[in-house]
Amino acid sequence: MPNDQPQMTGDTPEAPIRPAATVVLVRRGRQGPEVLLLERNRHSTFVAGAHVFPGGGLDAADQLPEIRQLCTAATASSDSQALAYRVAAIRESFEEAGVLLARTSAGSVLESGIIGLAGELERYRDALLQGQTSLQEICRQQAWQLDTASLHYYSRWITPPGQIRRYDTRFFVCEAPPGQEGRACQRETVAHTWLTPGRAIDRWRKNEISLVFPTAVTLQELADLDSVEAILATARTRQSEEV
């Protein structure tokens, strides 16, 4: 993991760099592939009011050895660091956007067609945000597995010096579970929207929304791809760059 000790820049200590993960959730829309963007709280101390992909810093629980038993087989044997980033991306997606990337004991994706799933996920997310449970405990209770295998590494960004917070962030791409629309948590995020990457860039250029640089670059790249399959295929070609 990156060094988390403060560094000195002149007479001012530089913010420590914290490992983080972000997930670009994509789905099929009428005008082409869409991505989920969350509007951050305007009172936030970091990128206030910006539209971002779900994501955040790694927690200690994301890196526990026993987490492997709760992940899909394709990534359960990955090195601990690579797996921790994927677990964090899934946790942040659930906390911030209400979208849980997981599979049932039978291997099925958690989609809206499962009776009672929407209400169940909402109750679990509320309990998770209030510190009453953990993502690991939820999976154990339901015999679910975190769908880490569905996350494809896309890029890596490190916040430049001089910022109030600095992150070493892995971006992943994943197809959203059918019917899981998402909903802002009303804490760090206050609204959500599904947009084609091209439409998001257009709104940014018109100053209708705010984007941070990594988000804008990612959207611009995805805008050149005309299908969810093309986006996922592009992400798969970048897997070797993750290390």
Mean pLDDT of 146-153: 95
Whether 76 shows a pLDDT value over 70: the answer reads no
178: nearest Cα among 104, 99, 243 = 99
Task: Return d(Cα 34, Cα 196) in angstroms, integer.
Answer: 4
Whether 84 shows a pLDDT value over 70: the answer reads yes
Note the pLDDT of residue 78. 62
Whether 8 shows a pLDDT value over 70: the answer reads no
Q: What is the reported pTM?
A: 0.89
Q: Give the rounded distance of the alpha carbon of 4 from its chain centre.
A: 21
**Fold of the CATH domain 16-241:** Nucleoside Triphosphate Pyrophosphohydrolase (3.90.79)
Note the pLDDT of residue 5. 45
Note the pLDDT of residue 2. 43
pLDDT tens digit string along 167-205?
Answer: 999 999 999 999 899 999 888 889 999 999 999 999 999
Domain boundaries in the chain?
16-241
Q: Tell me the C-alpha to C-alpha distance, in Å, between residue 31 and each of 9, 162, 190, 209.
A: 47, 39, 25, 20
71: nearest Cα among 102, 31, 97, 114 = 102
Give me the helices (H) in 93-173, please. 117-129, 135-142
Q: Tell me the C-alpha to C-alpha distance, in Å, between residue 37 and each of 146, 191, 199, 209, 227.
A: 22, 9, 12, 11, 18
Inter-helix orientation angle 135-142/80-92, to 10°: 90
